[in-house]
Structures are given as C-alpha cells and as structure tokens.
Chains A and B, each alone.
Chain A
Amino acid sequence: MGLATFRGGVHPPDKKELAKQSAITPTRPPKRVIIPLSQHIGAPCKLAVGIGQEVRKGEVIGTPEGFVSAPVHSSVAGKVTGIVDCPTAIGRMVPAVVIENNGSEEWAPLKDNPDYLSLKPEDLRAKVKDAGIVGMGGAAFPTHVKLSPPKEKPVDVVILNGAECEPYLTADYRLMIERPQDVVEGLKVIMRIVGVTKGFIGIEENKPDAVEIMSKAVAGEPNLKVITCAVKYPQGAEKMLIKACVDRVVPARALPMDCGVVVQNIGTAVAIFEAARYGKPLIERVVTVTGEGVREPKNLLVKVGTMIADLVEECGGLKEDTAKVISGGPMMGFAISTLETPVTKGTSGVLALPESEVRHADTFGPCIRCGRCIEACPMGLMPSMISITAEKGFYEETKAYNLYDCFECGTCTYVCPSKRPIVHLVRLAKSQVKP
C-alpha cells in the first residue's frame, strides 16, 4: 500500500540528523527583548504601552487593529525602554518595543481552565485571539481568523501539519516526541472551536518515532488518526497535505475551508492548548538553530523578541565559512542580512549555511526546456515559461501561465539544471502586474 502523497515535489537531503537529537531547551533568559508590533499577516498592532512602563510576562503591549490582527504580548517581565525600528527577516523595518528584562519572571495574571474542553467554542476562540496566537509554521496568519470559517463554508476535517518537510528543521518533530499529549489536546480544542469530529495528524515517514508516539497518543480516540506521508517536499504545504491526508483538492486560488478543511501547525496546536488550559499567551516558541555553519545545532525554546545573535551564540557561534543565515528553512526561508534580527512568532528556524551548501544566484543559464520544473511543481504549473517571460520583462504574459497559483515553494528552482532563479522571477512578475 502506497504512502499518502501528492503529485510532483522533490526530495532534497533532509539533514535532520544535525538537530533531531537535541531536546527542546529554554535559552538563557535574554537581557532584553525587542518585540515587533507586526508579527503576522494583517494590520500591525497599535502600541499599548509607554516608555518607562513596567510590564509583566504575558502583558499586552500591542492591541490588534481590525479583524485580521492579533495582540502582541511581552515575553519578559521588565521595563519598556524604547520604541525602535527594527529589521524583520524580510528586511523591512517595523516599529518594535524594547523591554529590559528585570529577571523576576513575574507573569501577568493568567486564567486556569482545567475544564477547557467543555468551554463554549466562541469562548475558546476568544482565548486563542487574546493569546495572540498566529500560524507558527511560518505564515503567521492570525489563528482565530482561520478558526472562524463563515457559515457558507462548512468545515468537517481538521488536519495538524506534522510533515515538517523543510530540510534541517526539527522543531515540530521534537514537540511531537516530547509533548505528544499536548499536541493531541490542542487538536481537540481546535476541533471543538470549528465544530468537527474528524481530526488527522499528517507526519512524514522520515520521522518514524514521531509517527509511533503520536499514534499511541491518539490510540484511545476513535475519531483522531495519524496519517504517514511519503517524504517529499513540499508535503507540509497546506494544499499538498490536504490532498495526501484526506484526498481533497483545494480549488485554485481558494482556501482549505473551501473544501471543508482547516489545517494547523503542530506548534500552533500546542500554543492553542496552552491558551485554552492555562490562559497562556504566545510569548515563546521552539526554534531549530541548525545548519552546517552552526557549531552546535540545537532546538531551543526562545522568548519572542530575543535576538538571533543570542541564539547563535548559545549554539557555539557561526563557523568562519558561513555564507548565508536564513530565518526559516532552506526552501522558503528568508536570508537575513544581520544577526541583530529578533525572533518573532513565525520564526521556525535559524539556518546557517556554509559556502559549500549554498548556490549563489548571480549567474544562471537559459531555460533548456527539460521539463524538470514542470514535473516537480506541486501546483501543476509551467515554471519554465514563467521564468522565460519574466526574465525578458513580459510580466503580463506570466499571468497566462497561472502566475497567481504559485505559492513560491521553490521546488522548481531546486531542480532546475540551469540554476535559474525561478522563484525570484515569479516574485518580480507578481510585483509588476495586477491580479
């Protein structure tokens, strides 16, 4: 019997062995944190504190603006010492709150809910919003919005994304083998919020211990199931995960809810559990610091707002020949220009790649129409034609090749023998045309 999978995709070396043995360890308490007010898709938060103000852990420092927005909380107890512009992983400068840690570790008052599964769905959803939870797989979409499908789009399935298909990253893997019960409870809370009875956890086959442990954790629950997926990038992409786990096709340019599904990342599920059970806001997350350029790869539990420089230092520092540092994974992550970039709610990994593992994009060849990209594209597009038309400046023509169905997974660019920067050309075209 074949494993659950999807059409297309590619299998880069997964490099998980660098960090997979490292148990999740909290970092040293940061001396200060710089917490951006914009850490999610949607409107940035409005500043809710003043310079000089004393705050406790978990206190709101930014309030949401509009529906598609989530509050931001302080990740340490201390004093607000400034509002600065700080770089994000994509290089944009955004306003951020600087808080000096006073070392007290004092929490703002939290509400315990031992009976969380009997709370009303609207109340649970409100807790998710108040906790500032956003998608922790990297997209950082406000979770309470995702968990509010309109009545016209009935949802009957929830899938947890345990694929972690990006090479090098092991954060979700460690969460699954260290806190399987919390993952399952998070899934149950999500299912209660959207009112579904069928829950799945998709896990790639290269994590057999996670498959085993999670299967044991759901053994007593008849409506929860672990689905083992073939090891292929981008199995963890929402649409591909849905196809593999429940064999449904998300309509082009639509959302998973349009075929009755809600997908959540493993880390998000654990955060949802903590918000429901303990009233805990999202102030810390697991970050895999890895790559051949890091001396001691580790999975760290990091307070939001900690500088990436501090994480790297705690992992033994960078090796001399490090060429690129990436926030996220090697396929869709962002190359950062400075280590003085703060960890945000969506930072799943810090990847240091040496010269030997990196391929620079400054020279590339013509498209030889070999078709490898077409075979690999999980969306069934023709990346070759998009790259050829965009390279010559024919940006309007790229739309004829379904430019907007591309979610920039990078599979095409990975397989291209001419080393064409296809994703870069897609982004260029998208910036030059209107949908």
Chain B
Amino acid sequence: METVRTKNEQQFIISASPHIRSEETTSRIMWTVSAALLPAAISAAYFFGPKAIFLIALAIVSAVGSEYLYQRALNKPVSVADGSAVLTGLLLGLNLPPTVPFYIPIIGAVVAIVLTKQLFGGLGFNVFNPALIGRAFLLISFPKLMTIWAEPTAQFVKMDAKTTATPLGIMKTEGLAKLMEIFGDKMHLYQDLLIGSRAGSLGETSAIAVLLGAAFLMARGYISWHIPVSFLGSAALVAWIFGAKGMLFAGDPILHLLSGGILLGSFFMATDYVTSPSVKKGQIVFGIGCGLLTMLIRLKGGYPEGVMFAILIMNCFAPLIDRSFKSDVFGAVKVKKEAKQ
C-alpha cells in the first residue's frame, strides 16, 4: 500500500519515551565475558595440550548446535548470535577434566542448553546456571570418568597418560601433610596453584589466568565486587576457622582460595546475571551462602570440591533473595518509620 508523501509531510516514527538508548547490548556482554575467559582457555591449552582445545571447542559447538536445533525444531527465533550459548559451552568446557572422552562435552552441552536453559524459556528464564547443571549431570552420571585427573605438562604438548589427584582430592583422602610432601613446601604449593601446574579442570588450574580475566570484567563494569568478594571472603573465613584438623583458627585460607574451582566459580559462574540476585545487597547474601556451602562440602562433605553444588543450591535462593531486598524505594522507609511513631 502506497503512502502519499507531500512535500511538508515527512513520515515520523512514534514510540514511547525514552527515545535514546545506551550503546550496551546483551550480545556485547556475552561476547565480552567469553573474551575474558580466553586467558583461562589459553592456560588450559598450555598445561593440558591440544586435547584441551578439542574438548572446549566441542563443548562450544555442541552448545550452539543444540540451541540452534532446538529453536529450529520448535519454530522459535534462533538466538545463537547473542553469544550466550557460546559462553555456556566455553564455561562447561573449562569445567571438565582434561581426560574425558569426546561424548562428555557433547552430552554436557545438550543438558546445559536444552534441559537447563531452553526448556525453562530460554535466555533470562533459567533458574540454574546451565554450565554447572551440565557438569553436575556429568559428574553424577559418569562419576569415574569425571574424576580422572592428569598431571599438567607444559608448553602446549600432548598430555602424559599419567593420572593423579587434585590438591583438594589429596587433602580429602590423605591429608594436608601429604599435600605438602608432594609439592615441597607451602611457597611452592602456592606458586603452583597460582600459575596452574597442578591437576584440575581445564579452566580452573591457573589462578592468574582466571584473575586476569576477572579483573578485566570488573574494570569494565560487567561484574561487580559483591558476589566474588563475599563468596571468597566467607570461604576464607571458614577455611581459617575450621580448616585445620583438630584445631580452630589454624586453617589455611590462601590454600583454599587458590585450590579447586573457587576462583573460576566466584568470578565467572556465581556472577551469572540470570541466576544470581539482581539487587546488590542480595548479591552479598548470595555470595556468603556460596562461600559457606563450598567450605561445608570441602571440609565435611563427600566431594573434595564443593563450588559447583554450592552455586547451584544458591541459584534456588536467588529469586527469594531479590524479593526480600526489593523495598528500597526512595521515600518509602521514612514513611514507615513515621507511621510507627
């Protein structure tokens, strides 16, 4: 249908105010967070060889592929360009042991994307962190495969077949003394944990690589300090008070903060927008919950590492936490106080 335009009658668009928007988009956020994980991915390749890249790539491709196929099958608009599936695949890949066979990242990615995210309504509607549910599913379904760890080699060469236990695993089954024996002394242990020359999941071993990416995200305002600081702070506190066998206030908080997936978890997984509280005060409660649960599982639970389950349990509480903190309305508190008087 033709619209007649007279010389003075230009066609204007009408919509509600505001008529301008900031430059930030959801895609840009997703791709930026993925970029911040590159140091961790590179360290994975450095310590565990080409297989690391293979596993991570497989996880990403499976994540994107399953989202694409699901949305096409159900005639929904395809949203893979927003980068959220890529990010989930990348996080899942970084959370895997370096020894797993090829079908592990594929199954994990399908569970993460289809079960955890798409079936709940897609981006923004999932209750649980998709990558972590994927990993939890794998751990429970393939307990042996998901707990075979390898000694890191250096400089991107193919891994040795030699298997070993993670530092947290050694602490759980054989005690702190044995861990010290293996690494030499405390300083050497810390150094290895910081750099990444120890067994663990692909992305968690190098503390420095994780912290580098996290610092970048924080500097750019993509994540705030509330969750990581309260997560790590409460974990450190519990580690110090209860971490030593037989004695109180004699634990090693640094050892616990550098071991396992707590850095990767607190900066990249607990801070996932969709599954954590939106209100800043609520984020502190969320972080403290994650820290306490992580240490509870590490010290008293059956697993050597508790970050994954701690975050998933706190994911359940995120909406409740948000609802408890929502009444910070300008002018409201004063009215209540005056009414009480």
Contacts and interface: CB of A to CB of B under 8 A. Distances in A.
Interface of A: 7, 10, 12, 91, 167, 239, 243, 249-254, 309, 318, 322-326, 330-339, 351, 353, 357-361, 365-372, 374-375, 378-382, 384-385, 401-402, 405, 408, 410, 413-419, 421, 423-424, 427
B278 A384 contact: yes
B276 to A, nearest CB: 8
Given A239-B331, A252-B330, A360 B18 contact: no
Contact of A335 (B13, B122, B273, B327): B13
Contact of A251 (B21, B124, B331): B331
B13 A419 contact: no
B73 interface: no
Contact of B17 (A252, A333, A365, A402): A333
Given A250-B331, A366-B122, A337 B20 contact: no
Nearest to A352: B12
Given A91-B14, A252-B332, A418-B26, 4 more contacts: A351-B19, A358-B13, A371-B279, A410-B17
B173 interface: no
Contact of B18 (A323, A379, A410, A418): A410
A366 B331 contact: no
7 contacts: A335-B14, A357-B20, A369-B124, A382-B278, A410-B17, A417-B25, A423-B18
Nearest to A366: B124
B60 to A, nearest CB: 20
A51 to B, nearest CB: 27
B278 A424 contact: no
Given A360-B13, A405-B329, A167 B20 contact: yes
A90 to B, nearest CB: 10
A368 B273 contact: yes
A358 B26 contact: no
Nearest to B278: A371
B280 interface: yes
The 7 closest A-B pairs by CB, nearest first: A410-B18, A366-B124, A371-B278, A424-B16, A252-B331, A359-B21, A370-B273
Contacts of A418: 25-26, 124
A379 B330 contact: yes
A336 B17 CA distance: 11
B135 to A, nearest CB: 22
B85 to A, nearest CB: 14
A252 to B, nearest CB: 4
Contacts of A370: 29, 273, 278
A394 to B, nearest CB: 15
A339 B17 CA distance: 18
B18 A413 contact: yes
A251 B125 CA distance: 35
A368 B8 contact: no
A330 B20 contact: yes
Interface string B1-20: 00000001110111111111
Chain B interface, DSSP helix/strand/loop, else mixed: loop
A402 B329 contact: yes
B82 interface: yes
Most chain A C-beta atoms within 10 Å of own C-beta, residue among B21, B82, B123, B338: B21
Contacts of A324: 12-14, 19
B8 A252 contact: no
A330 B17 CA distance: 7
Contacts of B80: none
A358 B19 CA distance: 6
Interface residues of B, number: 42
B274 interface: yes
B98 to A, nearest CB: 31
Interface string B38-60: 00000000000000000000000
A417 B26 contact: yes
Nearest to B221: A372
Contacts of A359: 19-21
Most chain A C-beta atoms within 10 Å of own C-beta, residue among B328, B330, B331: B330
A359 B13 CA distance: 11
A24 B157 CA distance: 73
Contacts of A322: 10, 12
A339 B12 CA distance: 9
A368 B29 CA distance: 11
Contacts of A167: 20
Contact of A413 (B21, B29, B328): B21
A414 to B, nearest CB: 5
A368 B123 CA distance: 7
B335 interface: yes
Given A368-B123, A370-B29, A384-B278, A12 B12 contact: no
A366 B123 contact: yes
A318 B9 CA distance: 11
A408 B17 contact: yes
A353 B19 contact: yes
Nearest to B77: A363
Nearest to B332: A252
Contacts of A254: 331, 335
Interface string B310-336: 000000000000100011111110110
A89 to B, nearest CB: 11
B22 interface: yes
B330 A378 contact: yes
Nearest to B14: A335
Most chain B C-beta atoms within 10 Å of own C-beta, residue among A167, A335, A401: A335
A415 B19 contact: no
A325 B18 CA distance: 13
A280 B231 CA distance: 65
Contact of B12 (A323, A369, A402, A424): A323
B326 to A, nearest CB: 5
B271 to A, nearest CB: 10
A414 B326 contact: no
B28 interface: yes
Contacts of B24: 372, 415, 417
Nearest to A240: B330
Contacts of A378: 330
